[in-house]
């Protein structure tokens, strides 16, 4: 027999780690969507600079700062000492992905807003310039953005990728939580962000050709995402005792049903099949698949955050 | 920064699990109600009547390669005197990354401050000439030893040179500075 008792009464640790609640998966999901929007719209400017864009696609880059702000409010709500949040901006810690993330978030605001401004329809810009006539030098900033669309688009792609990857690396660097402790989590969250970003854009009234293009590349994203999830699970299943105990949560453990139905079946495989059928039959992709992709992306963040907190070195293992 | 390397040696043969270390620490450090910076871990193994019991007083291991310091985004968690791991509560945002990064479950949020709290190795005593930590001071079986690993004549160095010992979760690779005598 083995019987363990402890007098530790740490509600953050015992019986399992539960420091992060709904705010963190919500932020990670919104951060992923923003990463996807920034990379996709940035690439659109770079690769198709002369093609006419639908009004919706011209205005959608504004979603980046808006959704990011919502996500950052959730992040802020998670802090136990929220009025010390400014401390993030007094230092840059190379060992702390959360520290890089804080700076990445700060850089995203000007980059995404300037690109969104430059890409907005001319009459929208004129109307706002008129309304904000009292703001000094706004017209010069507007001209600067319009003249520098290419570098701004590139900055959006790079910062979007950094945002997407960092949200995964943030969890991946913690050796004490075996489910998270995988380098795959960075690229996985990036690709999931691209896929949910494309799905978010597809919710709006884009032109038919734009819908077809986005849906086509989304098939690629979903395929890569399935591959990365497989590699992540294989890596854990072939790891040490703690890693295998962690991944067992998806193979008979408490997260089995949620993971395979919400993430894999509903969030990835079903939309992938639907997109293949749409393309085979030359149907313009609708919104239902996009909603499924968004549900799947959210479920992935939710399950990774909570199942990861249930994984550890200590709980199942003798300490010697 | 001193060139000392503070460590704790705990004798599992003489520890009776009385929890005086827990109460001593709570009193000395005014730890928040219902929380504790150290705790007593008891493990019973074997088949009746051949049972074996190990009792350990556990706390922050003050790791040499501390993951909590690495992940801290504000520099609140840092290395202090004698290589100890310390928290500057004024810099802490309560993001809790360090709680997730610690394989030993040594950290918690002080509900009165909203910032991280954990064992300090009583540096406020040690650095001001009191040679003992409070848990060590109150231990009725004298199972807790504290000292400088860089001094070969210190009590902790002598014990580690002569007695079999182990650290917790060495595979986590954090180089803990708590040594348990077998």
Which A positions 87-146 lie with beta carbon below 8 A of chain B?
87-88, 90-91, 93, 95-99, 101-102
Give the closest of B34, B40, B96 to A20, CB-based.
Answer: B96
Give the closest of B35, B92, B172 to A313, CB-based.
Answer: B172
Q: Are residues A80 and B109, on separate chains, in Cβ contact within 8 Å?
A: yes
When scoring A1, A15, A19, A167 by the number of chain B Cβ atoms within 10 A, the one with the most, hence best to mutate, is A19
Give the range of the structural domain holding residue B163, as residue numbers without chain letter. 6-181
Give the closest of A95, A314, A319 to B71, CB-based.
Answer: A95
Q: Which residues in chain B have their CB less than 8 angstroms from residue A8's CB?
A: 36, 39, 41, 58, 105
Residue position matching structure tokens 């010697």: A320
Give A221 to chain B, closest Cα distance, Å. 30
Q: What is the pLDDT of residues B127-152, one digit of tens each?
A: 999 999 999 999 999 999 999 999 99
Q: What is the pLDDT of residues B60-102, one digit of tens each?
A: 999 999 999 999 999 999 999 999 999 999 999 999 999 999 9
- Write the CB contacts of A280 (distance below 8 Å, at least 6 apart in sequence): none
Residue B168 lies in a domain: yes
Q: Which residues in chain B have their CB less than 8 angstroms from residue A170's CB?
A: 97
Q: Are residues B91 and A87, on separate chains, in Cβ contact within 8 Å?
A: yes
pLDDT at res. B51: 94
Measured distance between the N- and C-terminal CA atoms of chain A, rounded to whole angstroms = 16
Size of interface A-B (CB pairs under 8 A): 160
Residue B39 lies in a domain: yes
β-strand partners of B54:
B43
β-strand partners of B11:
B181
pLDDT over 90 (residue B37): yes
Pairing of strands B85-87, B77-79: antiparallel
Q: Which residues in chain B have their CB less than 8 angstroms from residue A84's CB?
A: 74, 90-94, 115
Q: Which of A99, A217, A119 is closest to A166 using CA atoms?
A: A99
Q: What CATH number did the domain enclosing B103 receive?
A: 3.30.70.20
Q: Which of B59, B144, B65, B140 is closest to B107 using CA atoms?
A: B59
Contacts of residues A107-110 at CB distance under 8 Å and 24 or more positions apart, as own/partner, are A107/A159, A108/A34, A108/A38, A108/A64, A108/A65, A108/A68, A108/A159, A108/A160, A108/A163, A109/A65, A109/A68
Q: Are B31 and B12 a contacting pair, CB within 8 Å?
A: no
Structural fold of domain A23-309: Formate dehydrogenase/DMSO reductase fold (1.20.1630)
Count of CB atoms within 10 A of residue A237's CB?
A: 14
Running DSSP on this structure, what letter comes out for residue B91?
A: T
Residue B142 lies in a domain: yes
Give the closest of A87, A176, A309 to B67, CB-based.
Answer: A176
Running DSSP on this structure, what letter comes out for residue B81?
A: G
Q: Which of A34, A314, A44 is closest to A153 using CA atoms?
A: A44
C-alpha–C-alpha distance, residues B30 and A289, integer Å: 56
| A173 to A66, A96, B70, B113: CA distances (angstroms) | 28, 9, 10, 27
Q: Are residues B172 and A78, on separate chains, in Cβ contact within 8 Å?
A: no
Give the closest of A11, A81, A240 to B114, CB-based.
Answer: A81
Q: Are A310 and A180 a contacting pair, CB within 8 Å?
A: no
Give the closest of A7, A17, A177 to B40, CB-based.
Answer: A7
Running DSSP on this structure, what letter comes out for residue B34?
A: T
| B2 to A265, A275, B83, B155, B160: CA distances (angstroms) | 58, 64, 8, 19, 22
Give A14 to chain B, closest Cα distance, Å. 8
pLDDT at res. A13: 87
- Per-position DSSP letters for B127-161, written without gaps between them: TTT--S-HHHHH-TT--EEEEETT-TTSHHHHHHH
Residue A107 φ then ψ, to 5°: -75, -25
pLDDT over 80 (residue B1): no
Q: Are A107 and A70 a contacting pair, CB within 8 Å?
A: no
Residue B166 lies in a domain: yes
Mean pLDDT (whole number) for B100-125: 95
Chain A: residue nearest B96 by CA? A19
Q: Which residues in chain B have their CB less than 8 angstroms from residue A319's CB?
A: 41, 43, 168-169
pLDDT at res. B2: 58
Can you say how many angstroms the Cα of residue A264 is from the centroid of all Cα atoms in its chain?
17
Q: Are B29 and B171 a contacting pair, CB within 8 Å?
A: no
pLDDT at res. A313: 77
Q: What is the pLDDT of residues B53-66, one digit of tens each?
A: 999 999 999 999 99
Number of structural domains found in chain B? 1
Residue B110 φ then ψ, to 5°: -70, 110
Domain boundaries, chain A: 23-309
Chain B: residue nearest A78 by CA? B95
Pairing of strands B144-148, B6-11: antiparallel
Q: Output the 3-class SS for A15-64.
A: CCCCCCCCHHHHHHHHHHHHHHHHHHHHHHHHHCCCCCCCHHHHHHHHHH
Residue B1 lies in a domain: no
pLDDT at res. A6: 87
- Per-position DSSP letters for chain A, written without gaps between them: -EEEEE----TTTSSS-----THHHHHHHHHHHHHHHHHHHHHHHHH-SSS---HHHHHGGGHHHHHHHHHHHHHHHH-SSGGGGGGGGG---TT-HHHHHHHHHHHHHHHHHHHHHHHS-HHHHHHHHHHTTTSTTHHHHHHHHHHTHHHHHHHHHHHHHHHHHHHHHHHHT-TTSTTT--TTHHHHHHHHHHHHHHHHHHTS---HHHHHHHHHHHHHHHHHHHHHHHHHHHHHHTS-HHHHHHHGGGTTSTTHHHIIIIIIIIIIIHHHHHHHHHHHTTPPP-SHHHHHHHHHHHHHHHHHHHHHHT--STTTS---
Count of CB atoms within 10 A of residue A138's CB?
A: 14
C-alpha–C-alpha distance, residues B54 and B69, integer Å: 30
A175 touches chain B (CB under 8 A): yes
Query: Across the 320 residues of chain A, what is the mean pLDDT of every consecutive 10-residue run?
Result: 86 89 97 98 92 92 97 96 94 93 97 95 90 86 93 97 96 93 96 98 95 96 98 95 93 96 98 95 92 98 96 57
- Write the CB contacts of B163 (distance below 8 Å, at least 6 apart in sequence): B181, B182
């Amino acid at each position: 027999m083995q019987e363990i008792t402890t007098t530790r009464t740490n509600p953050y640790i015992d019986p399992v780690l539960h420091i992060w609640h709904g705010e963190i998966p919500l932020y990670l999901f919104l951060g992923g969507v923003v990463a996807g929007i920034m990379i996709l719209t940035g690439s659109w400017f770079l690769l198709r600079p002369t093609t006419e864009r639908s009004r919706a696609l011209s205005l959608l880059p504004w979603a980046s700062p808006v959704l990011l702000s919502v996500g950052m409010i959730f992040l802020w709500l998670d802090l136990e000492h929220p009025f010390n949040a400014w401390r993030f901006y007094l230092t840059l810690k190379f060992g702390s992905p959360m520290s890089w993330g804080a700076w990445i978030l700060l850089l995203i605001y000007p980059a995404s807003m300037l690109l969104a401004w430059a890409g907005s329809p001319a009459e929208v810009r004129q109307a706002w310039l008129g309304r904000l006539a009292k703001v000094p030098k706004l017209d010069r900033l507007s001209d600067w953005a319009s003249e520098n669309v290419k570098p701004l688009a590139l900055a959006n792609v790079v910062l979007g990728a950094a945002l997407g990857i960092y949200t995964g690396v943030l969890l991946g660097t913690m050796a004490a939580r075996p489910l998270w402790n995988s380098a795959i989590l960075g690229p996985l969250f990036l690709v999931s962000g691209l896929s949910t970003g494309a799905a978010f854009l597809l919710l709006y009234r884009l032109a038919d050709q734009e819908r077809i293009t986005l849906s086509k590349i989304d098939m690629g994203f979903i395929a890569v995402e399935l591959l990365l999830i497989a590699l992540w699970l294989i890596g854990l299943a072939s790891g040490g005792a703690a890693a295998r105990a962690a991944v067992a949560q998806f193979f008979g453990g408490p997260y089995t049903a949620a993971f395979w139905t919400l993430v894999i079946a509903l969030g990835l495989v079903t939309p992938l099949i639907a997109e293949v059928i749409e393309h085979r039959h030359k149907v313009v992709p609708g919104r239902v698949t996009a909603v499924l992709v968004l549900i799947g992306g959210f479920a992935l963040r939710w399950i990774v955050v909570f199942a990861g907190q249930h994984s550890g070195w200590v709980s199942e293992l003798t300490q010697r | 920064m001193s060139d000392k390397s503070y460590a704790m040696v705990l004798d599992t043969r003489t520890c009776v699990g009385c929890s005086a270390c827990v109460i001593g620490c709570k009193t000395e450090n005014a730890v928040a109600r219902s929380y504790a910076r150290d705790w007593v871990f008891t493990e019973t193994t074997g088949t009746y009547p051949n049972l074996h019991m190990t009792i350990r007083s556990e706390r922050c291991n003050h790791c040499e390669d501390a993951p909590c310091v690495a992940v801290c985004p504000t520099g609140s968690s840092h290395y202090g005197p004698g290589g100890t791991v310390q928290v500057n509560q004024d810099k802490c945002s309560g993001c809790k990354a360090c709680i997730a990064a610690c394989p030993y479950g040594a950290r918690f949020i002080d509900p009165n401050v909203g910032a991280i709290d954990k064992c300090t190795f009583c540096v406020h005593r040690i650095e001001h000439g009191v040679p003992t930590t409070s848990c060590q001071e109150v231990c009725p079986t004298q199972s807790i030893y504290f000292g400088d690993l860089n001094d070969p004549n210190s009590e902790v160095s002598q014990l580690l040179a002569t007695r079999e010992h182990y650290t917790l979760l060495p595979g986590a690779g954090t180089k803990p500075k708590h040594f348990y005598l077998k």
